[in-house]
Amino acid sequence: MEGQTRGSRGLPEKPLPATTHPPLSSLGAVFILLKSALGAGLLNFPWAFYKAGGLVPTFLVALVSLVFLISGLVILGYAASVSGQTTYQGVVRELCGPAMGKLCEACFLTNLLMISVAFLRVIGDQLEKLCDSLLPDAPQPWYAAQSFTLPLISVLVIFPLSALRDIALQEYTSILGTLAACYLALVITVQYYLWPQGLIRQPGPLLSPSPWTSVFSVFPTICFGFQCHEAAVSIYCSMQNQSLPHWTLVSVLSLMACCLVYTLTGVYGFLTFGTEVSADILMSYPGNDTAIIVARVLFAVSIVTVYPIVLFLGRSVMQDFWKKSYWATQGSPVLADPSGPWVRLPLTFLWVAVTLAMALFLPDLSEIIGVIGGLSAFFIFIFPGLCLISAVDTEPIGPRVKSRTTGSHGYHHEQFEEAGTDINRIGVVLPRRYCCVVWCEAQDCG
């Protein structure tokens, strides 16, 4: 399976730009795609179950959304094959035109910037609560404040991880981050059955009828939680096997595993606290519980590992801008390559510095999660749909039926017909959707 190519599976053979790093394995692609989705939205899913009116409505919305989420990933893989581009915004620009490409770049950069800020705020909140748990009776020292811990983590951990050149190098940190996120789901599930001392039991979740419109309130949370589509093109183009069926399998495995983790967290968190569930599920648990303290640490680790993936995608947009700048076209040769260290490291530092400043000085970002989720819907549904329309118009997807006929002059005609389409004439130049190869044997050509 690893040896199959796009051409052997019926995909257009437009070559993707060669990369210098080792190709990404299938397992690595699954973990990076999974870790891109398992972000801060994990903390909000129990609250989303409550806002949607219970378990059944949320399940129905999640299952329907899952079909479109997987379809969007498959479409992006196909669109990358047709366009020959290695970034999300490059695919949209190549297939949908420059105007749509600029709109995609603006939305892409804004969305990823706000996601990065939200991730830093989550990391800071978890570190602050961790300090409160370890120092419950003492006044908070200066080194326990977010203004010190968050910049320290950004400099020592986040910046070195984010400075890596290729997304394929995030494979091992993504495995660590995925396991850390799974621990949170496991702890919430186990806590429901063990019910440790200090946990206040809620008589039961609210199951009274809710307005049917409340079901749609969970939609931004689902988009925010499953937002891995921004990274789909970069992951696909880094894979060793880029056949469409293989990419479909990777997409299905990643989102099904992600759905399992989200479901366990959402269901058992909602069943545990019912109407009293917090928007941050960890805030509902006692601060002195050892398992919850470990969960806070590991969840912060999980967010730290997903931040570099988001930065890599945002930096790719900035690198596209750099290619058109004066410094790249007229400056020193070392500045012409946007992926080189003289350009990549300053852009990385700029991204970390800006998002860190916004995370420290902006007010609470809990209300912005809905905005981020709504903006993510463009990259999950709208842009993939536009790319599919343009890609099918360029390279049809349907199976090809091969037939061979003999012309009046002894020539043999091989024609490839798209399924469900009629051929009006044979032996003339056919429309774009057909390929007609006419050849003759030497003894017949005279």
Domain ranges of the chain: 7-394, 400-445
Q: Which of 12-26, 81-95, 212-226 has the lowest mean pLDDT?
A: 12-26
Q: How far apart are CA 142 and CA 58, in angstroms?
A: 42
Residue 29, burial from CB neighbour count under 10 angstroms (0-12, 13-18, 19+): buried
**Torsion sign over Cα 368, 221, 312, 307:** positive
Please answer whether residues 234 and 86 qualify as being in contact, where contact means their C-beta atoms are separated by less than 8 angstroms: yes
Please answer whether residues 94 and 76 qualify as being in contact, where contact means their C-beta atoms are separated by less than 8 angstroms: no
Q: Which of 283-287, 331-335, 363-367 has the lowest mean pLDDT?
A: 363-367
pLDDT at 419: 39
Q: Which fold has domain 7-394?
A: Amino acid/polyamine transporter I (1.20.1740)
**Torsion sign over Cα 336, 154, 360, 50:** positive
- Distances from the Cα of 204 to the Cα of 195, 200, 278, angstroms: 14, 12, 15
pLDDT above 60 (res 417): no
Q: How far apart are CA 384 and CA 64, in angstroms?
A: 17
Q: Which of 414, 20, 424, 76 is nearest to 232 (CA)?
A: 76
| Number of residues written out for the chain | 446
Q: Which helix (H) or strand (E) holds 187?
A: helix 171-194
Confidence of residue 100 (pLDDT cuts 50, 70, 90): very high
Q: Which helix (H) or strand (E) holds 380?
A: none
pLDDT 10s digits, 306-315:
899 999 999 9
Contact partners, residue 7, CB within 8 Å, separation at least 6:
13
Does this model's pTM top 0.85? My answer is no
pLDDT above 70 (res 160): yes
pLDDT above 50 (res 400): no
Q: Helices 290-323 and 171-194 sit at what angle, rounded to 10 degrees?
A: 150
Confidence of residue 432 (pLDDT cuts 50, 70, 90): very low
- Distances from the Cα of 194 to the Cα of 42, 198, 288, 437, angstroms: 22, 12, 16, 71
Q: How far apart are CA 383 and CA 378, in angstroms?
A: 6
Q: Which runs of consecutive H residues, i.e. helices, occur in 195-278?
A: 219-225, 232-238, 244-273
